[in-house]
Each structure stands twice: as C-alpha cells, then as structure tokens.
Amino acid sequence: MVGAEMLRVLEQRDFPVAELVPVASARSAGKTVTFKGVEHTVVEIAPEVFEGVDLALFSAGGGTSREWSPIAASKGALVVDNSSAFRADPECPLVVPEVNAAAAANRPKGIIANPNCSTIQMVVALKPLHDEGRLKRVVVATYQAISGSGATAVAAFEAQEQATGKGGEVDKTKLSGQLSRNLLMHWTVDAETGYQEEELKMVSETRKIFGDPDIAVSPTAVRVPVITAHSEAVTVETHRPITAARARELLTKAEGVVVVDDFINGVYPQPIDAAGKDPVYVGRIRADVGNPGGIQMWVVSDNLRKGAALNAVQIAEEVLLK
C-alpha cells in the first residue's frame, strides 16, 4: 500500500522523474504499474537494477532493506528506506523534514531512514512545543488504522466486517484476533518490558529525531477498526511551561500542521477527514488538568501519506531538489 502511495505522491508533487524503475521480488516481476498515465513493467530486484539510479525508495520490509539498501547506495543512489532496518543505526539519519531536515545532510552510508508512521505525525505536532519549551515527557496513546499492516490486513478486516454484519464466524487468524467491532494490541511484545515493539519505536525514534536522549516517552499502541489515518492522544510536559493559548498559536504557525480545534462546537480532527490528505491535523489543544503547565492534544494524520510515502518523498526533495 505504501509503494502505491509513493507513486501517487511522486506524481501529485510533480517530482522530476526522467525514468521510473519499479522493482519487486521475482513473484511480482512482469506486472505493471501506472505512473503519469504510462505503464511501467516491474523488474526483479538485482544489483544492476540500481546502476545510474539517483533515488531509491524502499518499502519492502526490513529484511529486503537490510540486504539491498547498501547495494543501491553503493551504486550511488540516495536511499530512503521506509522499514525499521536502519532507524537505530547511528550512521543513518532518521528524518522528518518539518522537524530535523538538516540531519539528512550527514548520511555516511547513503541511507536515510523514514521513521515509524506513529512517530512521524507525533513529532511534527511536538516540534513547535519542543522549540518553545523543550520536551520533558510525552505520554501517547495511539489509535492506529489497519492499513498500517498492509493490503492483506485491510482485506482480512473487511472480511471480518462482512462476517460480523451477517452474524457469521469471524476468521481471526490473519489479524491475530478479531478487529471488527473490537480493538487489538497485536504487535511483537518485548518480554522484558511488557511493551510492544511498535511502542518502543516511538520512544527511541522520538529521542533520535529531536537529538535529545533525555525525553521521556510513555506510549501505548492500539489497532482500531479504521482503514486509514492514525489518531493519537498526546500529553506533553515541557521544561518551560506552555499555556494552551500559546500552544495553539505555535501549532497554527507550524509547518505541516493544520489546527482543527473548535471542540465546543464538535469540531476536531477525525481519521475519515484526514485520509488522503497530507497535513498533520491537531485539535483538542488544552491545558493538562493533572499537570499544570502541560498540554494535551489530539493528533490525526494519514499513515500511508505523511506517515510513510509523503515523508519519504519530502526527504528526497530536501536532499535532491533544494
């Protein structure tokens, strides 16, 4: 799903593509994809595929990235990798252009890592608050859409929806449980801490992106019965207290953020409105009643676009076009 979205984003942003080379495993070789109205044949991945390539966008899983990203980089391509393979590597910058674009310049391996989708939208919203008061602690609960697990998961969820609607038996095997009319927490669990891998990514990635290992992040990740767009309830504590009015002012001016905040009249960001859109939407900006000087907010963004494909293309624009 992210690969297809990358093609749409490249086309919509009129990224200067002289030649497009769609690459996949042998299983998908020979299929076609359409870009700017022209069909392109998918080729099987091999070292020679990357000869003369300026930009290689990877979205094929950690194992594929670990094997092939260094090969692409060795051929001279700028590699932007959407997997988790290089996010913790100190020689690979972890970049969200609205937050730490300058980090992209230092890439000893020629590889830039795209952060986790949940992290991306959160740090875009946190950036103006960090600049104003320096982040001390972030507590976040995510409400993550099923498209984050890929096309197969979306199909499995839709089959569950049909089954529950008809009162039939629900196939729970493909989603590690029933998501229809339910919530799940089914990412890989770290036995030592009890946290899910998805949650621990948010901890380490937030610190790396902001360049501050002292930021405390307390995450809970939840899969919800929504197709596209992640939502997050975020509670922020900064070293220098910030009022809700000041936070709203800062967020209104922030790059990549759209404030949708008239909760008294029922106006707040919703995933159904964010799907297919580029911004990070922020609403319910309010003082933390449990911690004076702190801020609470509701953050929603399309996980396939800003959470993955758009961010990757923005990184390429930052490095190759500016």
* Catalytic residue list: 117, 230
Q: Which residue has the tokens 């086309």?
A: 11
Q: Is the Cα torsion angle 86, 198, 203, 105 positive or negative in sign?
A: positive
Q: Fill in the amino acid letter for 67.
A: E
User: CA–CA separation, 24 vs 45, rounded Å?
Assistant: 6
End-to-end CA distance of the chain: 28
* Contact indicator for 305, 5 with CB cutoff of 8 Å: yes
User: CA–CA separation, 9 vs 118, rounded Å?
Assistant: 19
User: What's 150's DSSP letter?
Assistant: -
By CB atoms closer than 10 A (0-12, 13-18, 19+), residue 257 is buried
- Quickly list DSSP for 190-220: -TTT--BHHHHHHHHHHHHHHT-TT-EEEEE
Two structure tokens written together for 271: 């995933």
